[in-house]
Amino acid sequence: MVWLHGAIPLFGVFLMFLRITAQPTPHQYHFINQSLSWPEAQSYCRLKHADLATVDNMDDMNRLAEALGGDIKPSWIGLERRGPLRWLWSDGSGSAHFTNWKEGEPNDAKGREGCGEISEEGTWNDHVCGGGRSFVCYERRSDGMVRYVFYSGGSWTWVQGQDICRKQHTDLAHVRNGQENVVINNLAGNNKAWIGLFKDSWTWSDGSGTSFRYWLNGGPDNYFGNEKCAAVAMSLHGRWDDAPCDRRAPFVCQGGLKARKMVVRMKMSTGVDLTDSTVSATLLQKLETSLGNHRMSDFKLSWRSDKDGQIFQRQEQQGAAGRPGC
Ligand SMILES: *[C@@H]1O[C@H](CO)[C@@H](O)[C@H](O)[C@H]1NC(C)=O
């Protein structure tokens, strides 16, 4: 419920419904062939579209590659190195809610233990991503069931495991609860095995929590020591590379919001007559401006009328004349 504080003297209390219609499909990508720094590209996208591009999965990645229209130069996407290190799942599902770390782990023992493994007894440990391990993939089948596949041998890096899992199955195993942990542990038997856990501090410009990454060579290299922004390049087969944010490059914006339609019920105490169409149109415009200031774009507002064609329902006043506003 949104409370709006209206002018006095109090005229009445109105109940009304506001329809917010977002423009079409999620993650519509737009390649902008202008060379800007990452922050400038971000401002451009927020002004003209919704934000810099977020990539949720391989399907998105393929559509983004299409949007690049054959351009092979590195182009900015909405990923930047900002915020704390946290453990994430390779399949894009975000941070690890269920965890089963061995006592004292993760301890980043060698200062570069950025990948997660399941140990012989089923607890988790952080390990150097280039270390040799077996690994467990998972596969989401069309009936919604999950199947795990174990690759033995003990000589795979985490990234090699990820590549194979993404090609042959869905991704490295994502462990959502104790039951799944037992299943994976039994499958791996007496082996240490990679699961889909990795650590990074990258965040998406649009606030999305997706942990899907598609780095060249499995991870950002921070080659110049100040590479805090991510670019996609078709010359790298669509893989991502980190680069200094002030470098000028073309970029990819996304338009559209995930929510397509939203109806908001508002109650308002006001001294003006809302049934006057000029008044209601002005109010709509003000709401639109206010939402625009809150990083929303690509949307339209309209009043929704009930079956009698009424938009505003006047309510009988109960008790106190004044109501808290915000
Ligand atoms: C982008 O612009 C460059 C020239 O500045 C041009 O060579 C290239 O083909 C353009 N890319 C696309 C996809 O239009």
What is the token pair recorded at 148? 């795990």
Residue 80 CB neighbours (<10 A): 21
Cβ distance 308 to 316 under 8 Å? Answer: no
Confirm whether pTM is higher than 0.85.
no
Cβ distance 149 to 169 under 8 Å? Answer: yes
- 3-state SS of 143-206? CCCEEEEEEEEEEECHHHHHHHHHHHCCEECCCCCHHHHHHHHHHHCCCCEEEEEEEEEEEECC
pLDDT at 221: 87
Q: Residue 118 corresponds to which amino acid?
A: I
- Examine residue 9 and say whether the peptide bond preceding it is cis (omega within 30 degrees of 0): yes
Ligand 1 atom having least distance to the Cα of 69: 13
Quick one: CATH architecture of 3-254? Roll (3.10)
- Cβ–ligand 1 distance for 34 under 6 Å, the answer no
Ligand 1 atom having least distance to the Cα of 70: 13
Q: Cα–Cα distance between 22 and 177 in angstroms, integer?
A: 36
The residues with which 136 forms a beta bridge, in sequence order, are 150
> What stretches in the chain show pLDDT beneath 50?
1-10, 23-24, 257-259, 319-326
pLDDT at 320: 45
pLDDT at 257: 42
Site to probe by mutation for ligand 1, drawn from 29, 30, 71, 252 as the one with most ligand atoms within 8 Å of Cβ, is 71
Cβ distance 272 to 109 under 8 Å? Answer: no
- Cβ–ligand 1 distance for 9 under 6 Å, the answer no
**Ligand 1: centre distance to CA 215 (Å):** 24
> What residues does each domain of the chain span?
3-254, 277-325
Residues near 213 by beta carbon (within 8 Å), at least 6 away in sequence = 90, 198, 200, 202, 219, 240
The percent of the chain in helix, strand and coil, each rounded to the nearest 5, is 20, 35, 45
Long-range contacts of 39-45 (CB under 8 A, 24+ apart): 39/245, 41/76, 41/249, 41/251, 41/253, 42/78, 42/205, 44/251, 44/253, 45/78, 45/205, 45/251, 45/253, 45/254
| pLDDT 10s digits, 202-229 | 999 999 999 999 999 878 888 888 999 9
pLDDT at 10: 46
pLDDT at 248: 98
pLDDT at 316: 62
Beta strands in the chain (DSSP E): 2-5, 12-22, 28-36, 51-52, 75-89, 94-95, 115-118, 124-127, 133-140, 146-156, 171-172, 193-204, 229-232, 240-243, 249-255, 261-270, 299-304, 312-315
| pLDDT 10s digits, 69-114 | 888 899 999 999 998 999 999 999 999 889 999 999 999 987 889 9
Cβ distance 76 to 229 under 8 Å? Answer: yes
**Ligand 1: centre distance to CA 202 (Å):** 29
The residues with which 303 forms a beta bridge, in sequence order, are 18
| pLDDT 10s digits, 263-278 | 777 777 777 777 777 8
- Residue bearing the CA closest to ligand 1, atom 11: 71
320 to 33, 152, 174, 270: CA distances (angstroms): 59, 73, 55, 14
Q: Cα–Cα distance between 8 and 11 in angstroms, integer?
A: 8
